[in-house]
Amino acid sequence: MIWTIRRLDGVADRASFQSTSNELNSWLAKQANQAQKKRLASVFIASPVDQPTCIAGYYSLAPWQIAFEQAPVKVTKRLPRYPLATALLARLAVDQSFQGQGLGGVLLIDALKRIHLAAQSVPVQVALVHAKDDAAAAFYRRYGFEPFADEPLHLFMAMGTVEQLFAD
Amino acid sequence: MATETIVRPDAKGRVGLGSYLRRIATQLGRMPSGFAAELTSDGAIMLRPRVEVAADEASTLVLSVADRDRLLAAIDGAVAPNQALLQAKAQHEVMVGPA
């Protein structure tokens, strides 16, 4: 099956999306469009090429900041005093009827590619993901994301790793 | 219980709903700003409670000292993509096209 991954639009049937997470289904149906209009998030959907209204999976990207409780002199010499800007992969979900086809990994790659392209214009040092639970965190760890010790549902990947992934 | 109130315009022909809105808001335990006014096709004015949307897409993660050091070490010494990531990229190429 050939897929397209595109920005959420009015063609897509958001209400029919059914992943195993009611929270992620509800967000897509009720809030994704508004979040995108307010420029709080960008939402991308995967559809089979011949079914443009079908949403088989989606992910959302959002701007985030990483701040430090303490920034020692050694650190502040090479980092700004203000928080680090980063791109957050806030949500990623696959419809139950399309699970088991590797679509989650494909969506993750697509998200990293978009972060990679954005980082060429606006410097970003890490890609951040927010896992909704331990199972989701395990999904990201499998692809090399590292969890923070004190925030285990927030995981990161250095942009150096992402750049190597997409290096020609 | 449906009620109807007759309001009269002021000298400039304006109709204010402030006092009614405050009364309704108090009854419902909301702030007056928690309503949106909508003019219906038959000329009625409907006051609908606003739906709050959490702006959880714009926030900040504050790292502890240990996590800060972990992050900076990762930035300085970025590791190569692992096999699962490389396989997912290859699958993206097959299913969607080159990433």
Q: Which of B71, B74, B84 sits opposite A142 (nearest CB)?
A: B84
Residue B13 reports pLDDT greater than 60? yes
Q: Using CB atoms and an 8 Å cut-off, which of residues 83-112 of chain A contact chain B?
A: 83, 88, 90, 102-103, 105-106, 108-110, 112
Cβ contact (<8 Å) for A144 and B84?
Answer: yes
**What integer pLDDT is reported at residue A137 of this predicted model?**
96
> For B63-91, what is the mean pLDDT?
92
Residue B53 has pLDDT above 50, yes or no: no
Q: Does domain B1-51 have CATH number 2.10.260?
A: yes
- SS3 for chain A is CCEEEEECCCCCCHHHCCCCCHHHHHHHHHHHHHHHHCCCCEEEEEEECCCCCCCCEEEEEEEEEEEECCCCHHHHCCCCCCCEEEEEEEEEEECHHHCCCCHHHHHHHHHHHHHHHHHCCCCCCEEEEECCCHHHHHHHHHCCCEECCCCCCEEEEEHHHHHHHHCC
Give yes or no for B67 touching A (CB within 8 A): yes
Identify the band that residue B85 occupies on the pLDDT scale cut at 50, 70 and 90: very high
Output A7 or A1, whichever has higher pLDDT.
A7
Task: Report the pLDDT averaged over residues A117-125.
Answer: 91
Could B78 and A161 be called an inter-chain contact, meaning their C-beta atoms sit closer than 8 Å?
Answer: yes
pLDDT tens-place string over residues A50-81? 999 999 999 999 989 888 876 655 555 556 66
Q: What is the pLDDT of residue A115?
A: 97
Min mean pLDDT across A150-154, B34-38, B65-69 is at B34-38
Map out the domains of chain B as residue ranges.
1-51
Domain topology for A3-166: Aminopeptidase (3.40.630)
